[in-house]
Amino acid sequence: MPSYAITGASKGIGREFVRQLAANPTNTVLAIVRDPDSPDISELASHHPNVHIIQGDVTDPKSILEAASAAEAVTGGPLDVLIHNSNAVDMASMSSTPTQIPFDSRAVRTMFDLPFSTAIYGGLWTTNAFLPLIERGVRKKIVHISSAMGDCAFIRKSGVSDAVAYAVAKAGMNVQVAKYAAELAPKGIKVVALSPGWVDTWEGEKPEPVVHAQQVMLKQFQTAEPTLKGQIQPEESVKKCLQAIGHLDMGSSGLLLSHNGDTERWF
């Protein structure tokens, strides 16, 4: 009876992980959310007795430790797969390039705080809180949902120079993952950073600035991948991510993988 815990499960890719995993009644699925009353995840859980909603904020050590205790109470001790998916950014500065970063410490903290809190501190606290459960699990897999935006080779190939704070946070996440993989290898624990592809998780109608920003991104991404047509849906992304997680072994532990299961096909 495999068990999975997913942070940031209220919407987008996190909720899709819950939806697809819940479809197999032999899975135990722990949906970690900041607000357990989020309507979409509550609705999903109401149709699947194998989904357990657990309150947890990855940027709050006490909260995520309590979430791990709650998860332990549900599973009886072990956890097979942890998926640290949570992410937050300062949307107002996403289009800033490095030379546009102001000489203003408060403004720079505003840009970096959210992605660092979720990807870096949140990645550490979530992993450390759930590690005792993973040690007792059978599959022993830890996955941090990252991005090719934090991959230097992809940045060189695509020429994407904006989204500085987000990309730096994901690059830091990739390094943390490699550190965890190195430390936990003797225990047989696999740790990977996984890029889900370019995924349409916008809810509702897209405002014009978002449509424009995505057109700009598409052109940039096409520099790296000329055949790219646009975003994929969460369903396709998560299906491929779950296949990649299924194949994860000690040989790929520590890497940044794409949803296609390799280190090159980011779309």
Ligand X SMILES: NC(=O)c1ccc[n+]([C@@H]2O[C@H](COP(=O)([O-])OP(=O)(O)OC[C@H]3O[C@@H](n4cnc5c(N)ncnc54)[C@H](OP(=O)(O)O)[C@@H]3O)[C@@H](O)[C@H]2O)c1
Count, residues in the chain: 267
> Is 201 among the residues that bind ligand X (CB under 6 A)?
yes
> Is 59 among the residues that bind ligand X (CB under 6 A)?
yes
Torsion sign, CA atoms 127, 129, 130, 136: positive
Strands, sheet with 190-195, edge to edge from the N-terminal-most edge strand: 51-55, 28-33, 3-7, 81-84, 141-145, 190-195, 256-258
Segment near ligand X (CB under 6 A); pick from 102-110, 192-200, 210-218, 238-246:
192-200
CB 247 to ligand X: min, Å: 19
Q: For ligand X, which is the closer residue by CB, 104 or 163?
A: 163
Q: One of 86, 93, 96, 170 is an active-site residue; which one? A: 170
CB 188 to ligand X: min, Å: 26
Q: Tell the residue number behind the tokens 């505003």, with chain if given.
A: 110
200, 234 Cβ separation under 8 angstroms: yes
Q: For ligand X, which is the closer residue by CB, 131 or 232?
A: 232
The two tokens of residue 179 are: 């550190």
The residues pairing with 192 across neighbouring beta strands, listed in sequence order, are: 143
> Is 58 among the residues that bind ligand X (CB under 6 A)?
yes
The residues pairing with 143 across neighbouring beta strands, listed in sequence order, are: 83, 192
Q: One of 4, 10, 166, 180 is an active-site residue; which one? A: 166
> Is 13 among the residues that bind ligand X (CB under 6 A)?
yes
CB 215 to ligand X: min, Å: 15
List b or e across 127-144, with b for residues whose CB sees 16 or more CB atoms inside 10 angstroms.
Answer: bebbbebbeebebbbbbb
Q: How far apart are CA 22 and CA 40, in angstroms?
A: 14
Q: Which of 149, 201, 142 minimizes the C-alpha distance to 14?
A: 201
170 noted as active-site residue? yes
> Is 147 among the residues that bind ligand X (CB under 6 A)?
yes
Q: Which residue is nearest to ligand X (CB)?
A: 12
180 noted as active-site residue? no
Of 31, 71, 81, 145, the residue at the interface with ligand X (CB under 6 A) is: 145
63 noted as active-site residue? no
CA atoms within 13 A on the CB side of 37: 0
> Is 86 among the residues that bind ligand X (CB under 6 A)?
yes
Binding site for ligand X (CB under 6 A): 7-8, 10-14, 34-35, 57-59, 85-88, 118, 145, 147, 195-196, 198-199, 201
